Structure 1
Amino acid sequence: MRRLLMLLFIAQAVLGVKKYFIPNIAANWHKAQEFCISLGMTLVSVESLAEHEALVKFIKQSDKFSNATRFWLGGSDLAKEGTYTWVSSARFFTFQNWADGEPNNGNDTEHCIEMIHNIYVNRVWQWNDINCRTFEAYFICESVDSQCIQNF
């Protein structure tokens, strides 16, 4: 656990008020979210072009960056087909960066969002919907806003 906390400290970046962390494991979307929660974090949401650009910059500085890499984001349409929301806030997508032809819900099984950087298939930091349970990828956790719950 101490080693994990040390990696968290080394790998995190402060982007605005958010802190990001890319664990050293790949997992399906559900396990990725569970892992982030175990750290007091959640899968990352990307709600603006500025956040997208900051996240790309963070990934490029990480040891997970390559010419063909994929990361889970915290978005899905699991609650209602075709209606994408962020797991961290339940907000609808206001910013989107879908690849051409996406989202397409291939085989009626693609409900979770990944960000792809793969120069070999001409997808550069674009989003794709993919199967939440069977596909495993690296993922990005973000800090949880401690102000999200307010007293009445």
Structure 2
Amino acid sequence: MQKILFISLVYTCMYQALAVCPQGFVEHEGSCYHVIRIQATWAEGRMYCHAYGSKLVSIETQKENTFLVNYLKSIDNQVHSARFWIGGNDIAQTGTYIWEGTQLPLNAGYTNYYQGSPDNGGDNLEEHCMEMSDRYNYEWNDNECKSKFYPICEMSGEDAEIIG
């Protein structure tokens, strides 16, 4: 039994290490990421990601968040505004944020909210979609879904292998 488990773990680690991402995506720990270079509403960004066989990013760990922050900082001179959509939203139920990709609640795992966020924009706004931006030190902030930012897409390395 231990031998089978060991072989399975070795295969899993090798597979993740060998994950090949589609052109334009970057790999990190078995997932592939891509920033769409078109400013779009959150819903449009979701559709762009789906067209690439991916979903808006679900950030599940501090390590993944750190990778994304460093990646976004490395491309911020290539985009008009360093504001990016991530998959968190409370469209279905105000105040209950879920990840678009996994449908899991944001508060069930790692979070990196900007101080006071999510706040639904106070009294006058309807902010139901999550962004990361240099404006908020790349911490998560809720914003109006109709705002136009750059979508960050994610797919698993396994899905990338099927597409590639």
Q: Normalising by structure 1, report the TM-score.
A: 0.79
Residue 97 in structure 1 maps to residue 109 in structure 2: no
Number of aligned residue pairs:
133
CA radius of gyration, larger in: 2
Q: Report the AA paired with residue 114 of structure 2.
A: A
Shift of 1:13: 1.1
Residue 113 in structure 1 maps to residue 130 in structure 2: yes
Equivalences for residues 2-151 of structure 1 within 5 A: 9=23, 11-62=24-75, 69-93=82-106, 94-106=109-121, 107-118=124-135, 123-133=136-146, 135-144=147-156, 146=158
Q: 1:21 to 1:57 in 2, by over 3 A?
A: same
Structure 1 runs not aligned, ≥5 long: 1-7, 148-152
Q: 1:82 to 1:89 in 2, by over 3 A?
A: same
Q: 1:128 to 1:65 in 2, by over 3 A?
A: farther
Contact 1:75-1:86 at 8 Å conserved across structures = yes
- Supply the RMSD in Å over aligned alpha carbons: 2.0
TM-superposition CA deviations, 1:30-83 (whole Å, max 9, x none)? 0000000011011011111011001112222325567x6210000101111111
Give structure 1 regions of 4+ aligned residues with deviation exceeding 2 angstroms.
60-66, 144-147
Give the whole-Å Cα distance in 2 for the aligned partners of 1:62 and 1:54.
13
Q: Secondary structure of the equivalent of 1:61?
A: helix
Give the whole-Å Cα distance in 2 for the aligned partners of 1:28 and 1:144.
24
Give the whole-Å Cα distance in 2 for the aligned partners of 1:108 and 1:63.
27
